[in-house]
Structure 1
Amino acid sequence: MSHDSNNTIWQIFNLINLAVIAYDNKTHHYTLNQHAKTLLNINSDDAVSNDVFNNITLRDFNDDTLITIEQLFSSNITAVLLECEFSPQLLNVNHSIVNDSVSMITLEQDRTLTEQYNFDQIISKISTKLIDIQNDNIDQQINFALKAIGTVLKADRSYLFEFNTDNETITNTHEWVNTGIIACKDRLQNVPKVELPYFFEIMNESHLFQVNDIEQLPTKADAEKAEFKEQNIQSVLCIGLRFDEELVGFIGCDCVKTKRNWSKIDLIRIKLVGEIINNALKNINYKKKLQLTQQQLINANIKLNKLANTDALTNIANRRFFDATLKSEIKRCARHNQPVSLIICDIDFFKRYNDNYGHQKGDDALKQVASALSSLCKREGDLAARYGGEEFAIILPFTGLEQCEHFTTLIQQKIKSLKIAHDYSSVSNKLTISIGYTTCLVTKASTSETLIKVADKALYLAKDSGRNKACTFEE
């Protein structure tokens, strides 16, 4: 075919209201009419090689495989997906033979299928993002869903409202607005339901509020009409959200720039997105309740554990916890080949104190001594416990004899600083304490009973030698 003939044919192709691509198998060049250039975003007035198509992604719509321009001409593919920056397009492909060297294809956009495909993709993304939503990114994903449904329904605003805990007011928690549209979220916080009686009457009955033209609202919807006009709304579509058949909120779209006759497809789509958001909120709510229940159980266990291990009067460790801790620390020190020290203290002449000052004063004195001893236990593993009656015990893991002796000096200084009057003591007019202590380089064979027995003997030695003293004892 002559050059003039090809030019004539190509002039005809440019008049076709479809994207046309011609391929010359002799020159291996492609020629595109203006519709094809616009569709594929190619700026060239000349015949082009296949390199021009490198940035274009095409997929066979039937099996989702990537294909090239060459494959379009050499196969019987009838529909392709053109992946664009904003939204993919489905294109019907028709093949034709022009002459012995030139073939062509036409690409025609299927708008209905493209719109449905795009919506299906959006729903898939929304569902994937919200199916196992975490509390820390719920806002981001709901905003994405609202933008998606607002865009698909060609709305100017889309939003989520949720009832407050009083169930009498409602708050706009999330909102998407199109370019150039004024956001209303900030002014729609804690809105009383009584201000929109018609809206909630319809919403409670049908869980759907659909208005194509707010001017057509009945007289009893004057309050709603005034609010819609305040927001410049011309058309509105809202779907109720329910937990256990109770209305807990709604999602909606409205149009500001033009009126919109909401279609059945619009209704189906917003219901689908509403159901996905509703389920996500339910999951978050269930997770919050589960986390709250778990935390309550943890707190209850902590409280029970504390009650089981704490002396009720002095609020320090009790004998039960002391026994368990001493066994544990002996094993720990044995593993590390380290010493453990044990101190047992007894308030001097405490019976006389109780008999003369009363049990209330006696209890107060016990609390003060317990607090003083506990305050000295600053390292992890150090433990002050009420051993029994007016006796206290202190476990000092990883502590040698010299450190333990220093610790007993601190105890005596601390008790002295309390300045608790004891006029019935034979050693001082202030409350004093006798101390027995021992240090042992424990082994796996060491027992808590042995350590307690030695510390007890040291305590009796302190008492026998005049009280208000710290003594150690060696077997």
Structure 2
Amino acid sequence: MRFKSLALQVLQQILFYAVLFWLVVSAVRAGMLFYQGQKRLAEIPGTVNALYMPLLAQSVWDVELPTIQQELASISAINGVEAVTLETRLGQRLHYRSPHASGGHHNIYRLDVRLNRNGAESLGTLTLYVSNTPVQREIASDLITSMAQRTLDFMALALLIIFILRRRFIMPVQQLAQAARAFVPGEPAPPFRLQYQTELEDEMTQLLASFNAMRSSINTHLAERERYETALKEARDELANRVEERTARLDQLLSFQQLISAISSRFINIPLDEVDEAMDGALAQIGTFMEVDRCYLIGVDHLQVVSMVHEWQADGVAAGVEGLGFAPLSDRPALFATLLREGVLNIPHCRQIPIAAQESTPSDIESLLMIRIDHLDQPVGVFGCDMVRRARQWRDEELVLVRLMGDMFANMIIRRQQLHALSETQQQLEEANAHLARMALSDSLTGLANRRHFDEEKRQAFDKARRKNEPFALIMLDIDFFKEYNDRLGHQAGDQCLRQLAALLTSFFTYPGELPARIGGEEFAVLLPGLDHLEVRKRAEALRMAVWALNLAHPGSRIADRITISLGTAAIDAERHSSIDQMIADADAALYRAKASGRNCTG
């Protein structure tokens, strides 16, 4: 940091404010002088009217040019008047300019020249050119004079201020600063003294007394600080040991949190067939991290029946909970009952527990830690850790870690149960969807394809036959006098008749692609891919004879004593049939001809 004398700083501040004060005073004085000068200039026209105008008007009347010139010179000699111009009514124009004219800005005044001020005729016009230059010169002269005077005053004041500041302030402060720099903490130092004598107490003497008091306090403080530093060093060493131990525990907790986070992430969108393998892997990671000989996870349902058992063992350690079977935990040994009741079992020395509990504990376990896993305040499982090769006193932070794992294990168990339930629900849903699909495409009474299914299949079969240029045919059939059958025997008998005919159609048309369907009340149709015109008529006749062979009594028939059918056939013809609807129209026409021919025949 750059050094600058305090006396010089004080002097600069004093001079700055003194100059500022002088500038303000000078500005006020200049303003007053300007105002007075302007007032004086404004009085010039009145002065000319009062003093010079009578004589000038008389001279103009008498046309005495020398006198006029003399009067104009007298007027221009007035301070501030730079020039005068006289224009008479006779057209004469006289101009006189002051030898001291500056040529700056002018204020122009025009005065009438009259012999008598009370209405006499004007003899001409006198024009005055008044300048501000004299006023400005007066202000400048005053400011220069004031500046010179103030400069001398400031110089004298500055020398006096420097002398007093150096004697009474700067030298004592320098002495105190030199003594402070020479002071070494912890070493004896003589009291500070000033090199000038004074009989009065002032700020310097108070500052000296403060320095001496501070010196004594510092020495006392240093002695106390040395004692404190010794105690602080011992406390710091102890704190370092605690920090190191705490850091190790925090690192372990961080590693555990990362482990739990990684395990939890694996179970977010895991499929059902990978859940058990993931649980085995999670137990292996947890058992290795906690350095136990064996750990296990048991899941239970809402009736506390064991539904899942997973176990991990270190190398050389036998299984401990395998083979629990599916039974309520309440029927298990006393340890499980105690766990369900209290939530935690912490047994550092299994051989010292009561015999009743010892009997329910495998003989190879030295230490045991188990927790109850809850979800929505209901037990959903058990997690346990066994020490086989040595006893172990579980630390508090280890108990905290195990409790923290409870939520994760609960989520794992619930996730597994949900996936199982979801799988069962999906299977049931698929079966229901298949059943609904069958119901949507089949006739509810006969079980044959319904009209919707028939319409979907007929177009696909027709388009395929045309595309591959393959044979394709269809049969339209109707039960003869079926209305009379219903009227005589009732609708239940009619439904039974339809079911029997449907069973016959199902057993009769069994080749791939053949589709019998019920398309109306007693109307049926059959799609027959691969058959030409002759083959479809043979199949139709064979079907008619099979219906005749059923020998279903029909008391209302007018052509036979049993159920008979009329059939119409059509085979695809590339020249006539551009759509399946045209084929169906041909088959309907053939069916109509069969009915017109007396029924129980093929058209």
TM-score interval for Structure 1 and Structure 2 normalised by the shorter chain = 0.5 to 0.7
2:394 to 255, 259, 262: 262
Distance in 2 separating the partners of 1:395 and 1:330: 9
* Larger displacement relative to structure 2 (434-443 or 285-294): 285-294
Counterpart in the other structure of 1:181: 318
1:12-56 CA-partner distances (Å, limit 9, x unpaired): xxxxxxxxxxxxxxxxxxxxxxxxxxxxxxxxxxxxxxxxxxxxx
Distance in 1 separating the partners of 2:309 and 2:559: 72
* Larger displacement relative to structure 2 (450-459 or 312-321): 312-321
RMSD: 3.9
Alignment partner of 1:246 is 2:382: no
Please identify the structure whose Cα radius of gyration is greater.
2
**Greater strand proportion:** 1
Counterpart in the other structure of 1:411: 543
After TM superposition, the score normalised by the length of structure 1 is 0.62
Q: Residue 569 of structure 2 aligns to a residue in which SS?
A: strand
Alignment partner of 1:349 is 2:481: yes
Q: Residue 185 of structure 1 aligns to a residue in which SS?
A: coil
By relative contact order (CA 8 Å, sep 6+), the higher-ranking structure is 1
- Aligned residue pairs total 356
Counterpart in the other structure of 1:170: 306
CA apart distance, 1:273: 5.2
Q: Residue 475 of structure 2 aligns to a residue in which SS?
A: strand
2:524 to 373, 392, 402: 392
Counterpart in the other structure of 2:457: 325
1:98-130 CA-partner distances (Å, limit 9, x unpaired): xxxxxxxxxxxxx99998899788667745654
Which amino acid is the alignment partner of residue 310 of structure 2?
A: H
Alignment partner of 1:150 is 2:283: no
CA contact (8 A) 1:240 1:247 kept: yes
CA contact (8 A) 2:293 2:389 kept: yes
1:95-244 alignment, distance < 5 Å = 126-127=263-264, 129-164=266-301, 167-171=303-307, 173-178=309-314, 179-193=316-330, 195=332, 199=336, 202-203=339-340, 207-214=343-350, 224-228=357-361, 230=362, 232-244=364-376
Distance in 2 separating the partners of 1:388 and 1:182: 69
1:6-17 alignment, distance < 5 Å = none
**Greater helix proportion:** 2
Alignment partner of 1:457 is 2:589: yes
Percentage of identical aligned residues: 34
Q: Residue 438 of structure 1 aligns to a residue in which SS?
A: strand
CA apart distance, 1:334: 3.7
CA apart distance, 1:393: 1.0
Distance in 2 separating the partners of 1:258 and 1:129: 33
Distance in 2 separating the partners of 1:324 and 1:162: 51
CA apart distance, 1:169: 2.7
The runs of 5 or more residues in structure 1 that have no matched partner are 1-110
CA apart distance, 1:388: 1.4
CA apart distance, 1:436: 0.8
CA apart distance, 1:190: 1.0
Distance in 2 separating the partners of 1:443 and 1:215: 98
Which amino acid is the alignment partner of residue 415 of structure 1?
A: V
CA apart distance, 1:386: 1.2
Counterpart in the other structure of 1:84: none
CA contact (8 A) 1:164 1:190 kept: no
Which amino acid is the alignment partner of residue 507 of structure 2?
A: S
After TM superposition, the score normalised by the length of structure 2 is 0.50
1:437 to 566, 569, 573: 569
The runs of 5 or more residues in structure 2 that have no matched partner are 1-247
Counterpart in the other structure of 2:53: none
Change (3 A) 1:441 1:280: farther
Q: Residue 360 of structure 2 aligns to a residue in which SS?
A: helix
